[in-house]
Structure 1
Amino acid sequence: MVPLDPPTDEELTRRAQAGETGSLGLLLARHQAPMRAVAMSLLGHGPDAEDAVQDAALTALRRIGDVRDPAAVGAWLRAVVRNTSRMRLRATRETPGLDGLDFLHLRAHDAPPPDQLIEQHAMRDWIWDAVEELPQQLRLVLMLRHFSGITSYQEIADACEVPVGTVRSRLSQARAKMAQVLLSTASQAHDDASALTEESRHEAVATLQASERGSLPREISELWPQETKLVGILNRPGERIHPVPVMRQTLEAGVRQRLRHVVASRDISIWEMDVTNPVGAVDPCPSNLAWLMFRREGRVQRLRVVFPGPQWRASLQEGG
């Protein structure tokens, strides 16, 4: 039997542009070595070069449709790595590195044509399935860095209560594992990633509304079982505190929260809130906060409330 010739770059690129994620995975695997060589030529050997390659591979997920000459996709991928590496060299501030994943947060008036929307959904589900494969510690820093408003290394360190160096290390590990998982799962079927987020958004809205009414309906009460505990800076050392009484105290103080953004995986949910303080509040709450929830079988086991931003960090350092 005569062996079949492997598909050309042009064939794989056209298939990838048609939404065939397996073809994109093959392309990335085929060109991984030259992509790494470009990164190392600009950034040297080390984690920055590896991060640049991983970021470029993830950028290709979103922008493969931009390739005008499918036969020259290798040159295009190397150019993406080159641009990513140069951005790292001249960066003056920390910004999320998964460039091009803004399509995961599409607004209604930005909706693309149906065929493009199907392709984007396939890519989104592929990415989120890969995220779910990460250990929880790695998944948390990746979700914060690239899918939430808590993006700086210092903010993530504060949220996770670990040193900045640990955040950098976990992000590097997460990106490397993501690249491996994406390549190994490209041809598989993937769950609908939007379902988890929509379910979590519904829970967030219902929780806030029920809290303001003063009682939690059964389905929301089940979200916060007796074993749920508040952890982090709002918890008193040595005490086990349930989140619901703290919610009640906050409402009694006149503080109101409005849901701004939701990020959800199977066992981590992030609810980002805008905060309104009562007029004349002596010790006002910061203008935004986030609920980090760690779940088991859908129920919240631990809740950590975090307050991103330099003003809150300064107050903590001053003993506020």
Structure 2
Amino acid sequence: MTDLRERDAALVLAAQAGEAAAVGVLLDRHRAGMRAVALSLLGSGPDAEDVVQDAALTALRRIGDIRDPEAVGPWLRMIVRNRCRGLLREARRVEPVAEPPLAGHDADLGRALDDHAMRTWVWEAIEALSPTLRLPLILRHFSEGVTGYEAIAQVCGVPVGTVRSRLSQARAKLLDALAGTAQSAYSGLRSRTEASWAEARDTLTAAENGRFGALLRGEWSAEVALMSGAARIGGAALLERAMDRDLSAGVRQRPVNVAACRTLAVWEMVIDNPEDDPAHCPPSVAWIMHLDGGRVTQLRLHHPRPLRPAAVPAELLGIWPHEERV
């Protein structure tokens, strides 16, 4: 047993040094135990396999968090157990509760990704996915407030079952890519993320200074589309008018999380409403943007915690809540 734990520890240290192939070996060694946990909680079926895939991807992203490399086996099984419990909570339609912390995990996921050498491999592997697989994967694993299946389905304009299927395909492709791209060297993730943070702040500053329309015309695609699910509901004119109306009402936004690759960026904002109208906008919004050559071509706006149905017409949920459709 000690021999096996020592070999596990060596693989963990190699993975934390940036050797993606070491993660693949670890997952192969512990896949049977991970699957056994899933089967014991969920029974035989596709849900158990999906949970094992999901847990494997989480392990790939969080390998830098492990403080005790010899305990990687229990750590992997804990991830599976947490994922199973989350799935069972969803099935019972109860409000989710905080997930028990993973062994050795005390940093937020975005910081964890920045902190270990595996991050560049993960993002380059994500870039290789098709757009339809890339979007739900990034929302599920890298956003803070758009992680639920129903929220992702709303953003993508597809049924929940399609979201589950696309996530399963995306995770499988990402894990299959471990061996093929493990030794490639990648750079630029940190600079992309920092640039996206700066762009989010600059965009809000420009808007507050009355220059949002000029920014849209100068830096975003001329054909930018505001989307609701899979439907286009407007363009730059609607975006500018909605932003100006919110600012005139005293609404302000603050970025709290950014996830960015070359073709997709997610800016998650906290919304500060005026004191005399605290329900003017939902408390948070995610800007989900498709990029082409650095220019935004599509924008979806998703409110993780929407206003009460009486306050927002149903047909307008998912865009600025009080904006009229044109």
TM above 0.5, yes or no, is yes
- Helix, strand or coil: the match of 2:286? strand
CA distance in 1, matches of 2:278, 2:37: 55
CA distance in 2, matches of 1:187, 1:313: 51
CA distance in 2, matches of 1:302, 1:281: 30
- Helix, strand or coil: the match of 1:49? helix
Structure 1 pair 202–137 and aligned structure 2 pair: CA distance change class (3 A): same
Percent identity for Structure 1 against Structure 2: 42
- Helix, strand or coil: the match of 1:150? coil
TM-aligned CA deviation for residue 133 of structure 1: 2.1
CA distance in 2, matches of 1:96, 1:53: 20
Matches within 5 A, 1:71-86: 76=74, 79-80=77-78, 83-84=81-82
Specify every segment of 5 or more residues in structure 1 that has no aligned partner in the other structure, as ranges: 1-7, 108-116
CA distance in 1, matches of 2:87, 2:227: 38
Structure 1 pair 311–154 and aligned structure 2 pair: CA distance change class (3 A): farther
* Larger gyration radius, structure 1 or structure 2: 1
Note if 1:228 corresponds to 2:224.
yes
1:302 maps to 298
Structure 1 pair 263–95 and aligned structure 2 pair: CA distance change class (3 A): farther
2:268 maps to 272
CA distance in 1, matches of 2:76, 2:291: 40
CA distance in 2, matches of 1:282, 1:81: 38
Report the TM-score when normalising by structure 1: 0.75
Note if 1:87 corresponds to 2:85.
yes
Q: State the AA in 2 paired with 1:36.
A: R
1:260 maps to 256
Matches within 5 A, 1:142-291: 142-148=137-143, 149-215=145-211, 221-232=217-228, 240-242=235-237, 243-281=239-277, 284-291=280-287
- Helix, strand or coil: the match of 1:16? helix
Query: Which region of structure 1 is more displaced relative to structure 2, 258-267 or 198-207?
Result: 258-267
Structure 1 pair 150–313 and aligned structure 2 pair: CA distance change class (3 A): farther
Structure 1 pair 222–130 and aligned structure 2 pair: CA distance change class (3 A): same
Q: State the AA in 1 paired with 2:44.
A: H
CA distance in 2, matches of 1:101, 1:142: 23
Query: Which region of structure 1 is more displaced relative to structure 2, 243-252 or 81-90?
Result: 81-90
CA distance in 2, matches of 1:125, 1:209: 30
Structure 1 residues 277-317: Cα deviation after superposition (integer angstroms, max 9, x where no partner):
33444971212112111111110111122222253566344
2:319 maps to none
- Helix, strand or coil: the match of 2:288? strand
Query: Which region of structure 1 is more displaced relative to structure 2, 82-91 or 167-176?
Result: 82-91
Structure 1 pair 154–298 and aligned structure 2 pair: CA distance change class (3 A): same
Contact 2:42 2:48 in 1 (8 A): yes
Q: State the AA in 2 paired with 1:292.
A: I
TM-aligned CA deviation for residue 14 of structure 1: 0.9
1:52 maps to 51
TM-aligned CA deviation for residue 153 of structure 1: 2.0
1:139 maps to 134
Structure 1 residues 5-49: Cα deviation after superposition (integer angstroms, max 9, x where no partner):
xxx884464143143423222232354455435534543332222
Q: State the AA in 1 paired with 2:81.
A: N
CA distance in 1, matches of 2:120, 2:284: 29
Contact 1:56 1:80 in 2 (8 A): no
Query: Which region of structure 1 is more displaced relative to structure 2, 248-257 or 8-17?
Result: 8-17
Q: How many residues align?
A: 299
